[in-house]
Structure formats: C-alpha cells, structure tokens
Chains A and B, each alone.
Chain A
Amino acid sequence: MAKIPFPVRFSAAQLLRAGLNRSWRWPQLWRTPQPKRAYQVVIIGAGGHGLAAAFYLARDWGIRDVAVVERGWLGGGNVARNTTVVRSNYYYPASAGFYQRSVNLFEGLSDTLNFNVMFSQRGILSLAYSPHELNAMARQVNALQLNGIKAQMVDRAEIQRRLPLADLSPQARHPCLGGYFHASGGTARHDAVAWGYARAADALGVDILQGCEVQGFEMRQGKVVGVRTAAGTIGAHRTAMAVAGSSSLVAAMAGVALPVVSHTLQAFVSEPLKPVLDTIVMSGLHHTYASQSDKGELVIGGDSDPYTSYTQRGSFSLIERTTVGLLELFPSLSRVRLMRQWGGTVDLTPDRSPIIDRTPVEGLYVSTGWGTGGFKAIPSGGLALAHLLACDRPDEHSTAFSFDRFARSALIDEGAASGVAH
C-alpha cells in the first residue's frame, strides 16, 4: 500500500505566526491543475464517492493518472447535504457486508487520510410503537446479529435512560413499547470526509478539476473514450460517473437509461443547545430522526419528498411533518428554533440499493442509486468503484449490486426489509 506523501503545511510555530501576522494566507489543501488531454481514468463528480474512488485507485491500484471532474465545487452536493449518519443495520447479507465494511473503514478513516473526520460511534436507537413494529425489530436484530453487526433489543426503561428528554409515557400520543440499539452506528463530519479524500487523492497525483462541467461523452465505435467539458475534451481509457441525483441526466448523454428517480431529501438543524441527546434516535412512526452535533445543533432528518425533484430545496409540508414527529417525541423542544434547512437530490433505485457496475456502453462505469444513504457508504463505495475501474469487474462486496439485477428480478429490497428511514 502506497504511503501518502502529505506535504507539511501547518505547524504550531506557523499557527502562532499566523495569529500575529494578519496577512497570512493559508496554503491550499489541493492543487487547481490544468486538465491534461487524456487520463487513464476520468471520474465525473467530486463528491464523496468520486473522491474516495480516486483515492483508492491511486493508493491501492497505483493508478494515479486520474481526473475527477466536477461541475461545481468539490464536496458541494449530497456529501454536504446529509445528516452525517453512518450505520450498517441493513437486513440482507449483501448490504450488511457492504455497509459493515464502510463502518470498519470509517473507524480508521482519520488515520488513513491524516484528516480528522470526527467519527463518533454514539449508537443509533430505533423506537417501536406497536407490537407489530416490535416484532419486526426483533426479526431485524436477529438478522443483524447473524451478520455479525452490533444490535440488541432494548426495553422502554433502557430507552428512557438513554433519552431522558423523550416522552415515552403511556400518556403520550404514541406510547413507546421498546426498540433496538445499533451500537456501532454514529456520525462523522461530512465535509471533512470530502476534504480528507480530496487532499489525499491530490497528494497522490489525482487531478481534481472543479468548475468543469461534463457536457457530453466522446464516443468511438459505440465506446466512451472521454468526456466533453467546458474546458475542452478530456480523453479517458475508462470513465466513471458518481453524480447522485444527476445520474439519469449524465447517463442519458451516453444513451444509457437508468432505473433511478431523483427526489429531494432535506434536513435541518436547530439553534445550538447544551448537550441533550448523546445518541442518534430514529422513529419510523414519527418519520423523523435526530442527533446532536458537536456544536450543539440538533440535526434533524425525515423522509424524502415523495415526488421527482431536482430543486435541492425541500417541500414545506415535509418540514412540518418531520418537526411535528420530533415534537411528539421530544415535547420539551417545542420552543427551539430551526436555524438552517437544506436539500439534496438523491438517486433512488426501485429496491433502494445501489448500482456499482459497468453500463451497457463500453468504457462507461456507474456508481449510483445511493439514495438517501450515500454518505455512510462513501468508503465502501469508493473502494468498490476503484476495484471496478482497476479490474473491470466488481469486488466481492459489490457483485450483488449489479446493473442487470432488475432484468433478473434479483432485487435487494432494503427499502422494504430494513424498515428504517433510508
């Protein structure tokens, strides 16, 4: 495995000098290179998945002749627009293995990237409000334990101990009956994940080309041989797209149709509070989940907007529904004000599982369908896409996430099976 040649940029002495000298300019964390005429690999989309794939290509496969092209700025899409939750409580073995690998990689990510991604395994508490929901959770927990993932049922007293603020009483509109705790789940600093991968990939020689929109594909004899961008044509032996909600639009430029729809998923943060919530709480009944960031803001998420949308701005009815659910769970937060709200365009497949595969067009590879859970999958998805680009076949963890599984009806229906807010 290649050692990453990080240049020394900061020191205590530099910091001190910077504090005294206001004309100090912080060094750039990555270069702003001119595009070369051709690369071995071009990855479209400098989000979490694209940057991670570039990093693993360079580090694990020695393929450093790589460009990541990005229409906007790096880490400005869904990697900046999520609720930073990392978890592996998936039902089917294919997903369980894939997402558990991601959690394992997150555990060492700060060391790998020499960048503090602030991964905090504070656990995820999912709540049940009916005997049926409790039964479904027991089944889920059994599946997780069989797959070697940390999960255990917890009773109401234990939930109250972990969530002192929650109204779990029999007098509540929906009395809580129990739940389960997924101890290895947690949160990570989302921007740091994007910046850490970007900096490490750049140090290994990957060119990150921001503000460089892909406007079409260079095709030769039905094969993709490069991309046409605002900065000219860039040749590529292999081209991958990791563009989340824009997947259908980019793939269409190569004549590829995808089983994907784009919806808005929104989230919001409250004003900063003193520590009131030291775990992540999820309630399927209330269609809401929340955690508290290190800055004290409550980070609140819910369902995606239930219709096709590219607006990157959520509907007001979803804000209302999500906050109503949160307040039924935590009535004492009723005077807390929301500070910011944002939306990302998520790429949903019919079975809510990703596609990491070759496309029907030679030379074009795709990583899409990350839907509402792409952030947690970044390390594992990056590793899988890098393997695919290096070897022209998926790795052992991503063979199930093939493009043709829909034609074979071999769905990995996590949307129905996991019973979690995806």
Chain B
Amino acid sequence: MLLIPCPYCGLRDESEFSNRGEVVVRPDPDAASDAQWVQYLYFRNNVRGWQSEYWVHTHGCQQLFVVRRHTLTQQIERPA
C-alpha cells in the first residue's frame, strides 16, 4: 500500500485517493492551436522515473495536490 502525503491530512493509504495523472499545463484557450490541444488532451510523457502527478484525497479532505513519485520504484518524495 502506498502512503500518499496529503498536505492537509498527512500520510494516508493510497486507497483513500484518486490519481489524476501527470501534471500537464493547459494551453491558453484563446491562443492555442489545434495541435497544442491534441497534445494537452491525449499525449503524456509517461516517464520511467520521477514524475510530478496530481492526487485527490477523494475519501478525505477532497483537496487536489501534486506529489512527486518514481514510477519504477514507487518512492514518493516527502514534501519539504
């Protein structure tokens, strides 16, 4: 069981959370080209290594936050 460091509730079991995938930056809706939208919607870096990703504490405080996790070793960086 992974322990996810919720910035509000502390270390909690992964089953309380939902993963929302790697951090992606939304392009400017007024200026983005079709290609940029396609990139944003569908393409991911899918790294084997350290990844910044969103988690939601679904069965807890409901907050969305970013965690750095290693996708091969499952190590999670403790927030400073």
Central interface residue in B22, B35, B44, by most chain A CB within 10 Å: B44
Measured between beta carbons, the chain B residues less than 8 angstroms from A317 are: 1-2, 13-15
Q: Once the chains bind, are A249 and B41 in contact (CB under 8 Å)?
A: no
Measured between beta carbons, the chain B residues less than 8 angstroms from A315 are: 1-2, 14
Residue of A nearest to B16 (CB): A317
Tell me, in angstroms, the Cα distance from A74 to B62 when the chains sit together: 45
B72 contacts the other chain (Cβ, under 8 Å)? yes
**Chain B: minimal CB distance from A135 (Å):** 27
Measured between beta carbons, the chain A residues less than 8 angstroms from B41 are: 350, 406
A5 contacts the other chain (Cβ, under 8 Å)? no
Known: A259-B43, A262-B71, A321-B15. 16 other contacts (CB 8 A): A248-B45, A259-B44, A260-B44, A260-B46, A262-B48, A306-B19, A308-B46, A308-B47, A308-B51, A315-B14, A317-B1, A317-B13, A320-B15, A350-B41, A406-B38, A407-B35
Interface residue SS majority, chain B: mixed
By size class, the interface of chain B is 20 to 34
**Chain B: minimal CB distance from A305 (Å):** 9
Query: Which B residues form the contact surface with A (CB < 8 A)?
Result: 1-2, 13-15, 18-19, 21-22, 34-35, 38, 41-48, 51, 53, 69, 71-74
Measured between beta carbons, the chain B residues less than 8 angstroms from A320 are: 15
A52 contacts the other chain (Cβ, under 8 Å)? no
Binary B-proximity of A232-252 (CB < 8 A = 1, otherwise 0): 000000000000000011000
Q: Once the chains bind, are A308 and B42 in contact (CB under 8 Å)?
A: no
Measured between beta carbons, the chain B residues less than 8 angstroms from A136 are: none
Measured between beta carbons, the chain A residues less than 8 angstroms from B18 are: 306
Residue of A nearest to B35 (CB): A407
Tell me, in angstroms, the Cα distance from A249 to B71 when the chains sit together: 13
Say yes or no: A259-B42 contact (C-beta < 8 A), given A306-B19, A308-B21, A407-B34: yes
**Chain A: minimal CB distance from B61 (Å):** 19
**Chain B: minimal CB distance from A55 (Å):** 29
Q: Once the chains bind, are A316 and B1 in contact (CB under 8 Å)?
A: yes
Closest A-B pairs by Cβ, 3 of them: A307-B19, A248-B46, A259-B42
Measured between beta carbons, the chain A residues less than 8 angstroms from B69 are: 307
A261 contacts the other chain (Cβ, under 8 Å)? yes
Choose among A258, A309, A321, A407 the residue that contacts B71 (Cβ–Cβ < 8 A): A309
Residue of A nearest to B34 (CB): A407
**Chain B: minimal CB distance from A262 (Å):** 6
Interface residues of A in 305-331 (CB under 8 A from B): 306-311, 315-317, 320-321
Measured between beta carbons, the chain B residues less than 8 angstroms from A257 are: 43
**Chain A: minimal CB distance from B73 (Å):** 8
Measured between beta carbons, the chain B residues less than 8 angstroms from A406 are: 38, 41-43
Central interface residue in B13, B34, B53, B74, by most chain A CB within 10 Å: B74
Measured between beta carbons, the chain B residues less than 8 angstroms from A350 are: 41-42
Binary B-proximity of A397-421 (CB < 8 A = 1, otherwise 0): 0000000001100000000000000
**23 residue pairs from A and B, CB less than 8 Å apart:** A248-B44, A258-B43, A260-B44, A260-B46, A261-B44, A261-B46, A262-B48, A262-B71, A306-B19, A307-B19, A308-B22, A308-B46, A308-B47, A308-B53, A309-B72, A310-B71, A310-B72, A311-B71, A311-B73, A321-B15, A350-B42, A406-B38, A406-B43
Choose among B2, B21, B72, B74 the residue that contacts A261 (Cβ–Cβ < 8 A): B21
Q: Once the chains bind, are B74 and A311 in contact (CB under 8 Å)?
A: yes
Measured between beta carbons, the chain A residues less than 8 angstroms from B72 are: 309-311
**Chain A: minimal CB distance from B55 (Å):** 9
**Chain B: minimal CB distance from A382 (Å):** 25
**Chain B: minimal CB distance from A23 (Å):** 43
Tell me, in angstroms, the Cα distance from A406 to B51 when the chains sit together: 24
Tell me, in angstroms, the Cα distance from A249 to B44 when the chains sit together: 12
Measured between beta carbons, the chain B residues less than 8 angstroms from A249 are: 48
Q: Once the chains bind, are A308 and B71 in contact (CB under 8 Å)?
A: yes
Tell me, in angstroms, the Cα distance from A257 to B45 when the chains sit together: 8
Binary B-proximity of A361-400 (CB < 8 A = 1, otherwise 0): 0000000000000000000000000000000000000000
Measured between beta carbons, the chain A residues less than 8 angstroms from B35 are: 407
**Chain A: minimal CB distance from B53 (Å):** 7
Tell me, in angstroms, the Cα distance from A249 to B45 when the chains sit together: 9
Central interface residue in A258, A260, A262, A308, by most chain B CB within 10 Å: A308
